[in-house]
With several copies, the nearest count.
Chain A
């Protein structure tokens, strides 16, 4: 399931809903991303997350379908917020339920790595020196490349 929204989400309720009534599920791995107040050296008072409506939902749906193809998942969930956020706010929730824990771990790790490199969101930070668009981190690209099928990494 995919949700793109400005509102916060209730992690406990979302995770409980993911595994309700399916007693073949042995584990749920989840990742919650937060706004940090350390961005390089500047202190961040708030940020605005811009996205590309339409393409975001399409890409998140494609990525989730790919995870479902690669791992035997009983259920999965991606929630990504946009709009104004302050340090400590939740930005993203990724959760994967599976009969066995390693599938849920790998699928969740895969989803967040792809999401960080492919999903069309952009952070603009409010710093003491004014607004600043956050630069992409090279480390994120390297993390996502781990998951490429061999024939497409050239």
Chain B
């Protein structure tokens, strides 16, 4: 799976983009978030409040219950502030 982080999710985790194997038991975006939180304090802090984190799978906004498949592109980012 390809993981992308934007804006302060990128600067807080220190990661912009990474490829990972789908971890065992990670079936949904929510599962992935819980897995990421255990990776270290930067990730735990960045994903502490999911009210200010948006998720997209294959470039489409999804809810946390969205199922994941091998080969998915999963992005995390704050509410948008363009325009």
- The short answer to whether A and B are in direct contact, CB under 8 Å, is yes
Hey, which bits of chain A sit against chain B, CB under 8 A?
33, 49-52, 54-55, 58-59, 80, 91-92, 112, 115-124, 133-137
- Chain A neighbourhood of B56, CB < 8 A: 52, 55, 120
Contacts A50-B7, A52-B6, A133-B8: A122 and B59 contacting too (C-beta < 8 A)? no
B interface bracket (residues with beta carbon within 8 Å of A): 10 to 19
A interface: dominant SS: mixed
- Tell whether, in the assembled complex, residue B83 and residue A122 are in contact, meaning their CB atoms are under 8 Å apart: no
| 9 A–B pairs (Cβ distance < 8 Å), ordered by A | A49-B82, A52-B77, A58-B59, A116-B80, A116-B82, A119-B82, A123-B82, A133-B8, A133-B11
A/B pair count, beta carbons within 8 Å: 71
Inter-chain contact A80/B79, CB cutoff 8 Å:
no
In B43-83, which residues have CB < 8 Å from any A CB?
Answer: 56, 59-61, 75, 77-83
Q: Which residues of chain B come closer than 8 Å to A59, judged between CB atoms?
A: 59
* B75 and A121 contact, CB distance less than 8 A: no
* Residues of B contacting A120 in the complex (Cβ-Cβ under 8 angstroms): 6, 56, 75, 77, 80, 82
Q: Which of B4, B10, B61, B78 contacts A136 (CB 8 A)?
A: B78
- Structural contact, A133 and B7, CB atoms closer than 8 A: yes
Q: Which of A52, A54, A112, A124 contacts B83 (CB 8 A)?
A: A112
The answer to whether A52 and B75 have CB atoms under 8 Å apart is: yes
Question: Is the pair A50, B6 in contact by a Cβ cutoff of 8 Å?
Answer: yes
CB atoms of B7 and A119 under 8 A apart: no
